[in-house]
Amino acid sequence: MSLGTSMVSGMQAALLLARGRSDGLRLVEDDMAGAARSFWAAAICLPAFVCLRLLAWTGSAMPPHAGHVLALDLVSFGVGWCGFAVLSHRLVGAMGLGERWPRFIALWNWCNVVQYLLLVVFSIPGLLGAPALLDQAAQLFGLGWALWLEWFAFRLTLGIGTVAAAGLVALDVAIGVLLAAVAVAFVAG
């Protein structure tokens, strides 16, 4: 499958899953070549990541050395993306589901594009001056939908239960929180 076809199929799969349609799973490649191609999703997500960082700064003062902070955030983005892939490869293998990992990671990559889109879209009310309660509710809804999508994708691709899927989502979130804490400590220190 070509890169373009892989990207279109992966995005269609993620959009179907975001609507609760499990038939999106059949659109995702299940081999290592497809998994490798799916990492282009990180490049697609990068503008949304930068957008979210800039939106976070609109609500408060621009941090000192903003370029340095943004560069550190970009490094954290890459480390977090790759870190989850590496840790999940080992963890899924330890669960005895190693043969499912290529489709699992491919779907995770493509679902990240939809997750970032959800986070950006549901940040718009605050940017447009919506009341704080509406802005926070919209952002909470977007975050909840993004986390649910990841959980749903994990359950489908690995055929695991709700708690195990929630644990994998928690691992992904924990990696992000840990990297954010390290970045804040680095900037403060």
Q: Residue 62 has what pLDDT?
A: 76
Q: What is the pLDDT of residues 77-110, one digit of tens each?
A: 999 999 999 999 999 999 999 999 999 999 999 9
pLDDT in tens, the chain (189 residues): 888 898 999 999 999 999 999 999 999 999 999 999 999 999 999 999 998 888 887 767 777 777 888 888 899 999 999 999 999 999 999 999 999 999 999 999 999 999 999 999 999 998 888 899 999 999 999 999 999 999 999 999 999 999 999 999 999 999 999 998 888 787 776
Counting the structural domains of the chain, the total is 1
Tell how far CA 54 is from the center of its chain: 18
Sequence-separated (6 or more) residues with CB below 8 Å from residue 67: none
pTM greater than 0.85:
yes
Q: How far is CA 167 from CA 93, 154, 174, in A?
A: 15, 10, 10
pLDDT at site 58: 77
> CA 189, CA 184: separation in Å to the nearest integer?
8
Instruction: Look up tokens 């940040």; give the residue.
Output: 123
Contacts of 83 (CB under 8 A, 6+ apart): 175, 179
Give the model's pLDDT for residue 189. 66
Domain housing 165: 3-188
pLDDT of res. 136: 93
Q: Compute CA distances 163 → 87, 112, 118, 154, 167, whole Å.
A: 18, 21, 24, 11, 6
Cα–Cα distance measured from residue 102 to residue 89, given in angstroms and rounded to the nearest whole number: 9
Cα of 68 vs its chain's centroid, Å: 23
Tell me the C-alpha distance between 118 and 114, whole Å: 6
